[in-house]
Structure 1
Amino acid sequence: MLRYAARRALAAVPLLAAISFLAFLLNQLAPIEPAVAVLHAQGVPQATEELIAAKRTELGLDRPLPIRYAEWLLSALKLDFGQSYVTGQPVLALLGPALLHTLQLAAVSFAVIVLLSIGLGVFCALREGTRLDQGTRAAAFFLTALPPYLLAAGLVWLLSVKLDLLPTSGLGGPASFVLPAAVLAAGYAGVYFRVIRSSMIAGRHDDSILYGRACGLPERTLTLRMLVQSLRLTVPIFAMAVPILLGSTVVVENVFAWPGLGTMSVKAILSRDYPVIQAFVLLLASAFVLFNAAADIVGAMLDPRLRKEL
């Protein structure tokens, strides 16, 4: 198992290197030259050729690309992503609080997703083919297909404007987590609970379940065993939900004015704050690669047959 984990971790290294290079190129492929973007952010009304040349030298943009990439990568490995073009603050100082707020929202949403997925999966598997099963799956399909911003607007109108039960935006207290977490969890729980339901239904014909039923084991014990077997397949899927949630917060955070990575990234894009955009892309893409590797390792721990695939 340790050998498989080591091979899977090493396989992620080239992909992380490619991601870092692409994130670095965002600064070079931008429609507006970084030196011009910095001058505009600093309030310079007219960027002359002399000012642009001086700013390029100050930013080190006149040096060869490989040298700049190597220096940027070494600094990024030390969590030094440079300074914001707009505020002049270190990017890490802006990224840290925003990441913490996003992780808080993602953690609450992830807990809701797991609870809803397991609860609805077991509920529908035990009532396969009934109206309750069909109605639950239809509602889940509708919520999955519904755009997050539309669901968010509907919940704000109903629960905040009409009923005045929850805050409409911002991060104020526990109540402020309810609406954004519900919007984030609605779509993903509707997908993951069907995986658990299908796994449990397929597990009914497993030899161990049939043997246990023949031996007279209680149905509650057999249901628990089917759930454990289905979780062996869904745990890696749940692991991948974390980076997906981090990426999905862009829309939800902007709708609810949540002070997280999503809101920060949109502001950085609108103001052409390239160092902040680079750090956001590098962080999010690396999270996908690392959690994907972790999901494969966890899946191999639960199912030894998967270890032969790498």
Structure 2
Amino acid sequence: MPAVLLRKLSDAALTLFCATLVLFILIRLAPGDPAVLLLGQPAEVAGSQSQAYERKAEELRAQWGLDRPVFMQYAGWLGRLLQLDLGTSLYTGRQVSEELAERLPATLQLSLAALFIQVTLGIALGAVSALKAGAASDNLIRFACVALASTPAFVTGLFLLLLFAVSLGAYEISSEATWNRLWLPALTMGLASMPQFARMVRANMLAELGQTYVLAALSRGLSRRKVVAHACRNALLPLVTVVALSFAAFLGGAVVIESLFSWPGIGKYALDSILRKDYPVIQGYAFIMVAFVIVLHLCVDVLYAYLDPRLHHKRKRAAAGVEEHA
């Protein structure tokens, strides 16, 4: 186990390094100049005014280190990153880590609420669809899942805003991260990701209910309710990975929903920074998201190994085979 964990950690470190390098280069290749965006597009002027504008722009590029080669910029950023320094925003002059830390709780709050809606509705609808396979309720659930999966999240969000905020007046439109504003963006994100989860629950349940141990348990007179509950636990075990990846997707993919509902999270902050070419913020946000996904994958691997007893038996047989061969 320690050797496997050490190998996974080394792979994760290599993946993180490659991801940061690619992201850094892609950000620098994007069109636009932060100095021009900060100073404003120059008017059609000539002479001293134009020269003063160019001098000011050059001073800003030199101050931000943008006049150096890209790989030197990356080396400097990586060196600061190893010291846990994400840099300073080009526009606010504040530490990127501080600004991300201020907005991270709002995104975590939204992502956890959306994950709860996704998992709750997905398990409930998927289990009912599997237990009532072929019935009218199964067909209705599958049709609803297809319709939701075919609708972009921002379209669902616009419809819910029109319904609850405009027509019913039950939702307050503002830019504050309050509890009474949480439910609608969380519902939008949860509904957008629920269909895939419900289909996986249904498929796993049908596969598990067709196993021989289920038929044997029913033939021995065990109650159908207990057998189905046991099969449901086995069917939901592989979905631990899906839940973890959904949480990571919510954190990294909340940009559209946060912008649509003016939710003050790191997604909206990152989008505003992309439009302003605030390189340190974009790089810091991308690094945090990539690192979070990698760490989450490691945690899921370890957790899944302890939750699934079949992996324990497989490792024991492999270890016994190695000892016999030795």
Aligned-pair CA distance for 1:12 = 1.4
Q: Percent identity?
A: 30
Aligned-pair CA distance for 1:65 = 4.8
1:22 and 1:207, CA in 2 relative to 1: closer, same or farther beyond 3 A? same
1:50 and 1:185, CA in 2 relative to 1: closer, same or farther beyond 3 A? same
> One-letter code of the match for 1:177?
L
> One-letter code of the match for 1:139?
A
1:30 and 1:295, CA in 2 relative to 1: closer, same or farther beyond 3 A? same
Residue number in structure 2 paired with 1:226:
231
Alpha-carbon separation, structure 2, partners of 1:4 and 1:128: 41
Aligned residues of 1:110 and 1:242 also touching (Cα < 8 A)? yes
> One-letter code of the match for 1:32?
G
Residue number in structure 2 paired with 1:263:
268
Q: In terms of Rg, which structure is larger? A: 2
1:214 and 1:154, CA in 2 relative to 1: closer, same or farther beyond 3 A? same
Alpha-carbon separation, structure 1, partners of 2:150 and 2:68: 49
Aligned-pair CA distance for 1:264 = 0.8
Alpha-carbon separation, structure 2, partners of 1:290 and 1:306: 25
Q: Which segment is superposed worse, 18-27 or 93-102?
A: 18-27
Aligned-pair CA distance for 1:239 = 1.1
Alpha-carbon separation, structure 2, partners of 1:294 and 1:140: 30
Aligned-residue Cα RMSD (Å) equals 2.5
Structural mapping, 1:175-254, within 5 Å = 175-254=180-259
Aligned-pair CA distance for 1:263 = 1.1
Q: Does 1:168 align with 2:177?
A: no
Aligned residues of 2:87 and 2:96 also touching (Cα < 8 A)? yes
Aligned residues of 1:60 and 1:68 also touching (Cα < 8 A)? yes
Aligned-pair CA distance for 1:212 = 1.5
**Aligned length, in residue pairs:** 305
State TM-score, norm by structure 1.
0.88
Aligned residues of 1:152 and 1:183 also touching (Cα < 8 A)? yes
Aligned-pair CA distance for 1:200 = 0.9
Structural mapping, 1:54-93, within 5 Å = 54-63=59-68, 65-93=70-98
Structural mapping, 1:260-299, within 5 Å = 260-299=265-304
Equivalent in 122, 128, 147 of residue 133 of structure 2: 128
Residue number in structure 1 paired with 2:17:
17
Aligned residues of 1:113 and 1:188 also touching (Cα < 8 A)? yes
Structure 2 residue runs of 5 or longer lacking an equivalent are 42-48, 319-326
Residue number in structure 1 paired with 2:143:
138
Alpha-carbon separation, structure 2, partners of 1:65 and 1:270: 20
Aligned residues of 1:170 and 1:257 also touching (Cα < 8 A)? yes
Aligned-pair CA distance for 1:36 = 4.8
1:80-99: per-residue Cα shift (whole Å, max 9, x none)?
Answer: 22111111111122111222
* SS of residue in 1 equivalent to 2:90: coil
Alpha-carbon separation, structure 2, partners of 1:82 and 1:175: 34
Aligned residues of 1:143 and 1:186 also touching (Cα < 8 A)? yes
1:263 and 1:80, CA in 2 relative to 1: closer, same or farther beyond 3 A? same
Aligned residues of 1:236 and 1:298 also touching (Cα < 8 A)? no
Structure 1 residue runs of 5 or longer lacking an equivalent are none
1:29 and 1:176, CA in 2 relative to 1: closer, same or farther beyond 3 A? same
1:153 and 1:61, CA in 2 relative to 1: closer, same or farther beyond 3 A? closer
1:171 and 1:220, CA in 2 relative to 1: closer, same or farther beyond 3 A? farther
Residue number in structure 2 paired with 1:153:
158
1:203 and 1:299, CA in 2 relative to 1: closer, same or farther beyond 3 A? same
